[in-house]
Structure 1
Amino acid sequence: MPKRKSIRKKPSSSSSSASGCSKSKKQKVVEVVEKVEEVVNDVKTESSEVSIPVDEEVEAGVEEIVESPTNSGRKNSRKLVKKEELDCRFLGDPVPADEAKLRWPHRYSAKVEQGAKKSKTSDDDDEELIPAKCHYFKAEVDGFKIFELNDNAHVQSEDGKPPYICKILEMFEGVDGLPYFRAQWYYRSVDTVMKESITLREAKRVFASEIMDDNPLDCLLEKINIVRVTPNLDVDSKLSAIPDCDYYYDMKYLLPYSTYIIPPAETASPGSESQSTISSDKEVNGAVGDAKSDSDEAPQGNESSNSEITVLDLYCGCGAMSTGLCLGANLHGSNLVTRWAVDVNQFACQSLALNHPETNVRWKGYGEKDDTWEPLEGLSNCREKIGEFVKKGYKEKILPFPGDVDVVCGGPPCQGISGFNRFRNAENPLADPKNEQLVVYMDVVNYLKPKYALMENVVDLVKFSKGFLGRYALGRLVDMNYQARMGMMAAGAYGLPQFRMRVFIWGAQPSEKLPQYPLPTHDLVLRGVIPTEFEINTVAYNEGHTVQLENKLFLGDAISDMPEVTNAESRDEIPYSCPPKTEFQRFIRMTKDAMLGSRNGSEFISKLYDHRPLNLNVDDYQRVCRIPKKKGANFRDLPGVRVRSDNKVEWDPDVEREYLPSKKPLVPDYAMTFVGGTSSKPFARLWWDETVPTVVTRAEPHNQAVLHPVQDRVLTIRENARLQGFPDYYQLKGGVKDRYIQVGNAVAVPVARALGYSLALAMASEGSLDGPVMTLPPKFTNIHDRAASPIVEDNS
């Protein structure tokens, strides 16, 4: 089962704006705390007076010592001082005991008195609640500052840093006789995951949170005014509606999956421990009513398959992402249709157009019959032709205008962060022209203002330069007033025999439901490729969560039914040689109509497309023929290679080096020196019962395991396509190498399909959308209710 240490993670020192007073800790304070806890454990009733025995030596040194919450771990804040010396006090009579127990039962239960009551202080941290002697509605700090319950306030922070921002949920005297307040915190933008990657245009904007903890009362600095406003994609209109205030908020920031979301209307009573969001003193323009909650709106989106929901696929490649999204959304009854697609690769666009005749596809380049986007350079004297092109495009909707697009999806290329790029700009990744398409993608979203946006990218987005570009992408969406969240999904966890971890960032307009991430359907061992700070963004079940997942898939599950072909195979269409042997093969061989749930026509396609390999040169083919047909075989099995005890290869001095008829060595030098002689990937065979490495764009066997288990060739285009989850009906255009590139660059179709299903749920406002993740229906990869065809047992 996919696991990780925690689906939630407490904020780091740079990801939290909430903290109480912070001063040095001393061992004697620990001793005092232990004595306090011993006394607390002996308390038998709520109203007992407590006498704390403290050594005189300890008492003399603790007046200014604080044990308080820090950004890296929120613990109970206890200022161990003499009560009479505190410059703060409660005003008025205590809240009547019966009312206090009703409003704050967590402070008065027997478990609290025994020191066992836990409360959420961050998204994965528990604190030991301080037992209360009594509660108050009002307090005075520094002799003149008056604070009341539910006030917003500035709170003392570290020297040189701006004050923290909170809402006062409780004011109470602990059984230790000291005054406390419970805070629910707000974040500044730089304290969220976006950090300094983008400067929001709205300096007064803060984000609500669910983080709460207890703090010494004298940490309060001043009362402030915070208002809640209606999110609006028109930033100017939103700002003009904000009254005079210290801060405003329109979204809540949650640590799991770096989520920025519209808070629902508050229903809990002020100060209640069950309260999950922050109420403000003022709500501007009916923000709560305008921001949809889970229950107060009728289902949105596509209730009928006749209602078309349009998609623009940017950087579309051969169309895997939009294909998966449309297939997944269709499973929930949403008629999601890719109407526009744009890419730089002409062959990839031709592949998309072949499989999606309903899509307007454009690519870079110009021909006599092409009507496509072109740079302005060289066209300045063509005003008449440009006018004709724009008029034609507008009339025929060749390309979309604002309001036309419901969903924008795409994976902007960021070669500037690739590990293969030796000249990466870690100081300012956006200054690298190779990363500018990320900016272009966000600019297109800003211009078209779709209801939803989905961006995909490699994990280096959050690895390189401390995740700068990932933070930037989230920040841009939030700056445009889109709700947003970021997750990382492994293709193998959704029914593929390859790992392939990728980053997916959702965006949704304020008026829409922010889609969730679908939890894994298949067992998979996650690999350590995620930076620690972003582990909470991995889409996986919580450690300790019991769930029955389908078994992980292996290479044989995907390709064991494929006809045998040779290294020289040149046919683009060949017949199948046997029935499907596994559920995966049965599903992947369905026609497009069958995958969409139609009962009309044939259930399975009759021909297999693109089942041809890269034709290896004579030398490489002869090397491949010498690799044994066994699990784990590679160049190390060739004569003359010796493996040392440290797993490095060396030449065997007792074996004469063998040469091919071309006079080139059977074992090339680059195989011996690759990764310092430690790699076993050159000329390596895959095996039936293995999960394969990530499918890449090149089919050469020189430095990667791409050989068929028992045939003397590399995996074919179609075998790679199966490992990416492409349906067998999906045909590809271009040369052999071009088709390998299209498949290797693609989003894994089953992952996009799962995301499409969650998108349809969000569009229909169905299901429980409170959390960032959702569970797919059982047997999601074979969800159609058509009678299953016979499955032939795989005896490979």
Structure 2
Amino acid sequence: MNRFNQSTWSKVQCEMILAFLSFADYFRPKYFLLENVRNFVSFNKGQTFRLTLASLLEMGYQVRFGILEAGAYGVSQSRKRAFIWAAAPGEILPEWPEPMHVFGVPELKITLSGNSQYAAVRSTASGAPFRAITVRDTIGDLPAVGNGASKVNVEYESDPVSWFQKKIRGEMAVLTDHISKEMNELNLIRCQRIPKRPGADWQCLPDEKVKLSTGQIVDLIPWCLPNTAKRHNQWKGLFGRLDWEGNFPTSITDPQPMGKVGMCFHPDQDRILTVRECARSQGFADSYQFSGTILHKHRQIGNAVPPTLAYALGTKLKEAIDSKSFLHKSKNTAQFVVFDFLHVL
């Protein structure tokens, strides 16, 4: 379901969606919520998306679909995801949560038949009740650590300086999982040579050779990047540093400088973002514990729906359930009043 749409994993994801639909058909829950990557709506020329909607409608469900940007719901991260709400007959179909934070993206539209377009919510690029949350707001209070930092429990060393930091810390006295993947010697040298300024990436590296501790002399710039850049949007962001006043790119399951999202270097420190920094970019409280190795922890974070967005969706579900309950009570009250009036007559 991703950019490698012919891969085995994309086919597995398609099968997972079919399995998800089969569960809905068998158990017939009152409500159904599906989340997937933005490309879900266009994958396989939109056939998988249309099949999903048609299947739910055939089951009798009411359906609402759209694309939401997590950055507009209280995290400092660009994360666009497709969602499908479904409600059984007789239930109230939940609305989409109103975006509350400024986030500089246009309306996220889905192209329908006849080339018409639909956006689930408005863009907040021109304004919202709350300002955008920045990288500094999110991780600016965390202590400095080095490449390959592995100490699971450390002291905070400073007080929170933003509303987000105060909320995300909660009552925690010790910082956990502020650990970083260890880069090899060459990538660490490359990281050290990336300027500490917004937008800096591999294109800022000098075209020269470096000598490693083994005595081997290698190119500082990976050969494949300049030689294939024209075909890949200049490989923008690879070996990239975050901007203190900007936002995080989409949190992924394995942050690395030559990976799918290569902008993974700390704004000031020569290292990959830590597990806790990635967790904060998703909106996980510092009290949240992840399991397994450092790779397992990154995978748990990268695969998650940001808690703030999940909360906003859950609030809308509760509103829908409460609305039905209110309407039911109002109807019963009205019937009782009519009966009592007739009895008096």
Task: Please indicate the TM-score interval, normalised by the length of the shorter structure.
Answer: 0.7 to 0.9
Amino acid at match of 1:705: M
Instruction: Tell me what 2:340 maps to.
Output: none
The 5-angstrom pairing of residues 447-526 of structure 1 reads 447-526=26-105
Bigger proportion of residues as helix: 2
| TM-score (ref. length: structure 2) | 0.84
Structure 1 residues 768 and 712, CA gap change in structure 2 (3 angstroms): farther
Q: Please say if residues 104 and 124 of structure 2, whose CA atoms lie closer than 8 Å, have aligned partners that are also in contact.
A: no
- Cα distance in 2 between the residues matched to 1:721 and 1:710: 19
Alignment of 1:716-795 (within 5 A): 716-765=274-323
What's the CA shift for 1:530?
4.5
Residue type of the alignment partner of 1:580: P
Aligned-partner Cα distance in 2 for 1:630–1:433: 40
Distance (Å, rounded) in 2 between the aligned partners of 1:747 and 1:725: 9
CA shift for structure 1 position 633: 2.0
Cα-to-partner distance string for 1:696-720 (whole Å, 9 max, x where unaligned):
1221112511100111101111111
Letter in 1 for 2:40: L
- Aligned partner of 1:749: which letter? P
% identical equivalent positions: 36
- After superposition, the C-alpha distances for 1:197-216 in whole angstroms (9 at most, x for unaligned) are xxxxxxxxxxxxxxxxxxxx
Say if 2:107 and 2:123, in contact at 8 Å, map to a contact too. Answer: no
Show the counterpart of 2:266.
708
Offset at residue 532 of structure 1 (A):
3.5
> How far, CA to CA, are the matches of 1:567 and 1:423 in structure 2?
33
Whether the 8 Å CA contact 1:659–1:666 is kept in 2: the answer is no
Distance of 1:526 and 1:767 partners within structure 2: 37
Matched residues in 1 for 2:19 and 2:103: separation? 35
Please point out which of 229, 248, 273 is paired with 1:675.
Answer: 229
The answer to whether the 8 A contact 1:695-1:724 is kept is yes
Structure 1 residue 566: Cα displacement: 0.9
Q: 1:697 to 1:541 in 2, by over 3 A?
A: closer
Cα 1:718–1:712 change in 2 (3 A) is same
Q: Confirm or deny that 1:550 pairs with 2:117.
A: no
SS in 2 for 1:518: coil
Residue 538 of structure 1 corresponds to 120
| 1:523/1:550 contact within 8 Å kept | yes
Once the two structures are superposed, what CA deviation does each residue of 1:32-91 show, in whole Å capped at 9, x if it has no partner?
A: xxxxxxxxxxxxxxxxxxxxxxxxxxxxxxxxxxxxxxxxxxxxxxxxxxxxxxxxxxxx
Select 1:605's aligned residue among 153, 172, 181.
172
Rate the CA distance shift 1:751–1:767 in 2: closer, same or farther, 3 A: farther
Residue 622 of structure 1 pairs with residue 202 of structure 2: no
One-letter amino acid of the counterpart of residue 163, structure 2: E
What is the distance in 2 between the residues matched to 1:487 and 1:735? 35
Question: Contact 1:519–1:541 (CA<8 Å) still a contact in 2?
Answer: no
* Deviations 1:366-388, CA, capped at 9 Å, x for gaps: xxxxxxxxxxxxxxxxxxxxxxx
Instruction: Letter of the 1:419 partner, please give it.
Output: R
Residues in 2 aligned to 1:435 and 1:478: alpha-carbon distance in whole angstroms? 19
Q: Give the Cα separation in 1 of the matches to 2:193 and 2:61.
A: 57
Question: Higher strand proportion, which one?
Answer: 1
CA contact (8 A) 1:463 1:530 kept: no
Instruction: Please say if 1:570 is aligned against 2:150.
Output: yes
C-alpha change, 1:637 and 1:659, in structure 2 (3 Å) is farther
Q: Encode CA deviations 1:683-735: one digit per residue, 9 max, x unaligned.
A: 11111011222111221112511100111101111111111111111110111
Runs of 4 or more above 6 Å deviation: 766-769
Shift of 1:672: 2.2
In structure 1, distance between residues paired with 2:228 and 2:121? 34
**Mapped contact 2:103–2:124 kept (Cα < 8 A):** no
User: By how many angstroms is 1:636 displaced?
Assistant: 2.4
The unaligned stretches of length 5 or more in structure 2 are 328-345
Distance 2:51 2:326 in 1: 29
Q: Look up the equivalent residue of 1:418 and give its one-letter code.
A: N
- What code does the residue aligned with 1:550 have? F
Paired residues in the alignment total 317
CA contact (8 A) 2:66 2:82 kept: yes
| Distance (Å, rounded) in 1 between the aligned partners of 2:103 and 2:147 | 32
**C-alpha deviations, 1:268-320, integer Å up to 9, x for none?**
xxxxxxxxxxxxxxxxxxxxxxxxxxxxxxxxxxxxxxxxxxxxxxxxxxxxx
Q: Shift of the alpha carbon at 1:529?
A: 6.6
Structure 1: runs of 5+ lacking an equivalent: 1-416, 591-603, 641-655, 770-796
More RCO (CA 8 Å, sep 6+): 2
User: Counterpart in 2 of 1:585?
Assistant: 165
Which residue of the partner structure matches residue 409 of structure 1? none
Q: Alpha-carbon deviation of 1:659?
A: 4.1
Q: How far off its partner does 1:674 sit?
A: 4.8
The answer to whether the 8 A contact 2:64-2:84 is kept is yes
1:388-407 matches, cutoff 5 A: none
Offset of residue 547 of structure 1 = 6.5
Correspondence for 1:787:
none
Cα distance in 2 between the residues matched to 1:433 and 1:692 = 28
Secondary structure at 2:217 match in 1: coil
For 1:622 and 1:767, locate their aligned partners in 2 and report how far apart those are by CA, in whole Å. 62
Mapped to 2, the partners of 1:759 and 1:529 lie a distance apart of 22
**CA distance in 2: counterparts of 1:461 and 1:468, whole angstroms:** 10
Measure, in 1, the Cα distance between the counterparts of 2:183 and 2:127: 45
Partner Cα separation in structure 2 for residue 421 and residue 675 of structure 1: 21
Q: Which residue among 429, 440, 443 is the counterpart of 2:22?
A: 443
Deviations 1:79-129 (A, max 9, x none): xxxxxxxxxxxxxxxxxxxxxxxxxxxxxxxxxxxxxxxxxxxxxxxxxxx
Q: What SS does the aligned partner of 1:507 have?
A: strand
> Contact 1:639–1:658 (CA<8 Å) still a contact in 2?
no
Deviations 1:737-761 (A, max 9, x none): 1111111111121111100111111
